Amino acid sequence: MGAGRGLAVGGAALAAAALLLVGLQVREKERGERDARARTLEASKRGASAAGGAASRAESVSGADAEIDALVSGAAPPGAAAAALLRIDPQAMFVALRRRWPVPAAAGVRLEFLQALAAGCPRLVDVLDLGMRDPEAAVRGWAAATLEGYAFEDFSGREEAYREWHARLGGLVTGELWPLCARACATRMLGLPVGQIPAGAERLRKYAGWPGRKLLVESRMAEVIEAWIRSGDADAVRAALGVLPLYSPEAALLTRTVLPLLESPDAGVYALGALGSPGNTWAIPKIVPFLRSGDPAAVEAAAAALAGIGDAASGIPPMIEAVLADTSGHAADTIGRAGLARLAGVETPEEKDLAWWQNWWAAEGPKYAPRTVKPPGR
């Protein structure tokens, strides 16, 4: 992709990462103190109404006891556990079940109880704690996989780490737990050694497909990934650029961190990919020149980025221009397959060679008049 500037490790970059880590830790401490005060106030309110609700809770737990006794004894038909939990207060069912655990003896029935409770009990962490301490490996595996979606941490095979984590956060309802864990995840990711950044990026790729992604975005995960990019390590930079678009980076971040890497021989293709998200129309003028770079990987990445941005009026004309200018037909194949067909809405099985695109443009071209795209902040 040209001579490029390469990737440099600078003291200023490392200092910036350290400052960001300290900032996250300070904010985490402040939030923890506010959360503790809020929990104390809430506990006081709950205590004021505890006497009035004691009889009702006792009645619910008694009903849950009877239901569990029927299921354990075999009096209930197979598969009845989930249906039973839907009829009973989940919190009462949890209290009754915890007294017996690990009864029922059949691991499959215990797992059924846990799955149904996890869907309705506000004390999700404590429900999953039963599974994390279960004697059956399959039950523990399900609990660890489910917990990771809320803790943003994998405790599989890490019993001591899990016990320490649960000692700190056990008893919290999901609404309290989730944002705390998202912020803790951001702090951990920022502190990863350079050699562990690619593995951390893969974990963030997985988390981006989970419901808690929004909380990670709010925890400034994009800035954590930016710090990874500034590490200067080639593998870390490529891995970070690959997941950056998944965490909604702002235009200012992309401008200061990604644009300078476009000409890098090590990371340029990945930088093009990092720009290819909806809303980044300001980046189109920076991407378009790579359609004629002569580097097949860069051409493909540029076409895919334009398709990812999704602005047909600004993206299709330069792609068509590059296709029609290459009489060998290579651009028609690479650009058409990587982005043009998707952006034009013609992802059909037929082969689309140079002649095909010439005919398509003759018929459809007037719909795609190019417009001026301004950079961010202009």
User: DSSP letters along 319-378, please?
Assistant: HHHHHHH-TTSHHHHHHIIIIIHHHHT---SS---HHHHHHHHHHHGGG------PPTT-
The pLDDT-based confidence of 338 (bands split at 50, 70, 90) is very high
Specify whether the CB–CB gap between 271 and 306 falls below 8 A: no
> pTM of this prediction?
0.76
Tokens at 96, concatenated: 């009754």
Which residue reads 């490529």 in tokens? Answer: 238
The pLDDT of residue 151 is: 96
342: which 2 tokens?
Answer: 């998707």
Helix (H, G, I), strand (E, B) or coil at 8: coil
Domain boundaries, the chain: 60-172, 260-378
The pLDDT value given to residue 266: 92
Of 60, 27, 72, 46, the C-alpha closest to 171 is 46
Residue 72 CB burial class (10 angstroms; 0-12, 13-18, ≥19): middle
Q: How far apart are CA 66 and CA 97, in angstroms?
A: 11
pLDDT of residue 212: 93
Cα 131 vs. chain centroid, distance in angstroms? 24
Residue 30 above 80 pLDDT? no
Give the span between the Cα atoms of 352 and 192, in whole angstroms.
46
Residue 263, pLDDT score: 94
Q: What does the pLDDT read at residue 22?
A: 44
- What is the token pair recorded at 332? 């028609």
pLDDT of residue 255: 97
Assess whether pLDDT exceeds 60 at residue 18. Answer: no
Asked if the model's pLDDT at residue 136 lies above 70, the reply is yes
Integer angstrom CA distances of residue 11 from 14, 16, 191, 193, 236:
5, 9, 16, 16, 17
Instruction: Tell which residue, 276, 185, 281, 277, has the closest CA to residue 225.
Output: 185
User: Phi/psi of residue 204, each to 5°?
Assistant: -65, -35
User: What integer is the mean pLDDT of 22-48?
Assistant: 54
